[in-house]
A and B are shown apart, each in its own frame.
Chain A
């Protein structure tokens, strides 16, 4: 058998692939954060809680209403998006003129409230969500057996990420969005409703988090704290990619998933910290992040 650094090649390949699966989640979550940061200039700490809500909505849809996975994959992001509209209109919009720290504290508070609600209703050991029938089973790739559902996660998230990227970079709507980021006053002078655009961007960003949550539900136990476990890493991903960079956050998300996967083979104990080590190095060398521009 071929070896690479003392690790059999098939083992290495399988870890790379698994890293890509995890990277897909990082990419989707950090993309939402980057879009929100780009336009609203706020750090949305509630992102993890809204991801958790997405997973819970999927579970609740099946448990109480009999709605299957595919329906909830569309419905959960919509519901969370609407919630996002309320959060932005009722709470966040008053804070844009203030220091970043206020919106950060507010969204952190929202996280605590949401997590508290779900924990008090559903306890802490979580709910079980089954893999949808169409994606049951696994495929033998030769070097590893890949569960079909994991393959679907990669495909779905990369598709969504690319769609969002195309929407922002390649359409006229996206052009207005980007212009709004640069100079909101001027864009408003052209008769474009910038506050509404901001609201919808926030809704879109958090809907992405909910989408990721539904994707995660069959893999992870659905618990109130599932977002908190992930969100810190995702923040590091955003910092590494560069705040507000769309393509940057997608590529960094996938890339760091792979780096983390490799660390799990070579030195498993460090797998939870490797992302932060990379972050520290990137901040030293390129303070604006790999894809960010100095302002």
Chain B
């Protein structure tokens, strides 16, 4: 009897708490008197270096730059590790929105996790800013009014590297592709860009995810006599493939093009191994004086230079907080409308525009890795080859598969 009573009491308490958390009371424009940002990313596994704890720090820096307050209310940050599991990410997002009064969800690396979180955010009508995940589906087939894809996507990477390398003389391509959805779409997108630019694809080989030995695949690539080896994989796979390519002398006969590489990958491989490689990124710490200033601050805290994702974490959080400040509310629809009508202008992006599909279109950069001689200080790794305007880098609105785009 007492047991049933306890349960009933608990249930009614939960109900009270739930209704108290609901927005909509006329006076309170900021729900729960606090603006709560939640960040879910890979904190411990393969992608932890490019985002992870550094990403958390970047968002903290944005909050600190707002002096911890927005529209007169406190800003709070909570974060969690999704362990690269989509279900863990989705459950955490749901829990935070339901019980913690979450106002903004920021998604880190891993496309699977972000696609799952996008569904939850749309169902609960909360803004969801994707930083680390690369799948272009997020703003095409799977777009929602609440998803903003902020940093980069597979289409932009493919357009950047594929197009530019062909124009610099790398006409024939061979792909080394990770055998899962992401690898396949990266290869397909790049192959399209290569062919559009007048190049040819002579073949490809698929390797299992987390393959530790790449020598066999590289010999097959070498046998193809192609000029360029496109690495349609990520993280540890890319790193080990490049290492083996050096060892077997593949780099002497073929140009390497990393299709998804971050500065941390270059840092851990070293310039000797990566010299001359092409890659596309959304940002580089040494690209402008403002970027440098911010990066030095980040370096003080993390003892390494920020990746483009960590810079985007800051920029996205800031863009959101500014929108809350301007609209004086954390109401999702109003804040998103504000974010989409105002351009992003900070050390990360210049004149970045968020389209009706949720795609943030900003300049992308084709980089070439410096040689050891050219590099003058630690983390001085890239030469800028070409700036690719946002409108050319990303899927054009007219070609978007997103149902929200009016044609």
Which A residues have a C-beta under 8 Å from some C-beta of B? 11, 14-15, 18-19, 21-22, 116, 119, 123-128, 131, 138, 144-145, 147, 149-150, 219-221, 223, 225-226, 229-230, 261, 264-265, 268-269, 271-273
Contact = CB atoms under 8 A, between A and B. Distances in A.
B219 A128 contact: no
Interface stretch (B1-9, B28-36, B61-69, B236-244): B236-244
B24 interface: no
Given A145-B248, A145-B249, A221-B268, A125 B239 contact: yes
A80 to B, nearest CB: 20
B268 A127 contact: yes
28 contacts: A11-B219, A11-B223, A18-B215, A21-B215, A22-B213, A116-B44, A123-B48, A124-B44, A124-B48, A124-B52, A124-B235, A125-B49, A125-B50, A125-B235, A126-B236, A126-B268, A128-B243, A138-B248, A147-B248, A219-B244, A225-B236, A226-B212, A264-B217, A265-B216, A265-B220, A268-B207, A268-B217, A271-B211
Task: Sort A-B residue pairs by CB-CB distance and give the 3 closest, nearest first.
Answer: A272-B208, A264-B216, A125-B268
Contacts of B243: 128, 219-221
B45 interface: yes
A22 B52 CA distance: 32
Interface residues of B, number: 39
B211 A272 contact: yes
Contact of A220 (B49, B240, B248, B273): B240
Interface string B223-258: 100000000000110011001100111000000000
Contacts of B291: none
A125 B248 CA distance: 22
A272 B249 CA distance: 25
A123 B273 CA distance: 20
A22 B217 CA distance: 13
Nearest to A15: B216
A229 B49 contact: no
Given A131-B247, A138-B248, A221-B239, A124 B49 contact: yes
Contact of B268 (A14, A15, A128): A128
Contacts of A119: 44, 48
Contacts of A116: 44
B270 interface: yes
A126 B247 contact: no
Contacts of A261: 216
Nearest to A21: B215
Contacts of B210: 229
Nearest to A146: B248
Nearest to A136: B247
B269 interface: yes
Nearest to A221: B239
A219 B245 CA distance: 11
Contact of A147 (B223, B247, B268): B247
B205 interface: yes
Contacts of B206: 268-269
B236 A128 contact: no
B47 interface: yes
B303 to A, nearest CB: 11
B240 A221 contact: yes
A271 B268 contact: no
Nearest to A17: B215
B189 interface: no
Candidate in B47, B211, B219, B223 with the most chain A CB atoms within 10 angstroms: B219
A219 B218 CA distance: 14
Given A11-B219, A125-B264, A264-B216, A223 B270 contact: no
B116 interface: no
B46 interface: yes
Nearest to B235: A125
A145 B250 CA distance: 10
B380 interface: no
Given A19-B216, A21-B215, A125-B264, 6 more contacts: A15-B216, A126-B239, A126-B268, A138-B247, A221-B240, A271-B216
A116 B45 CA distance: 10
A124 B46 contact: yes
A33 to B, nearest CB: 18
A126 B269 CA distance: 8
Contacts of A123: 48-49, 264
Contacts of B220: 11, 264-265, 268
Nearest to A22: B213
Candidate in B46, B239, B264, B268 with the most chain A CB atoms within 10 angstroms: B268
B57 interface: no
Nearest to B52: A124
A269 B45 contact: no
Interface in B192-220: 205-208, 210-213, 215-217, 219-220
B240 A144 contact: no
Contacts of A225: 45-46, 236
Contacts of B142: none
B248 to A, nearest CB: 6
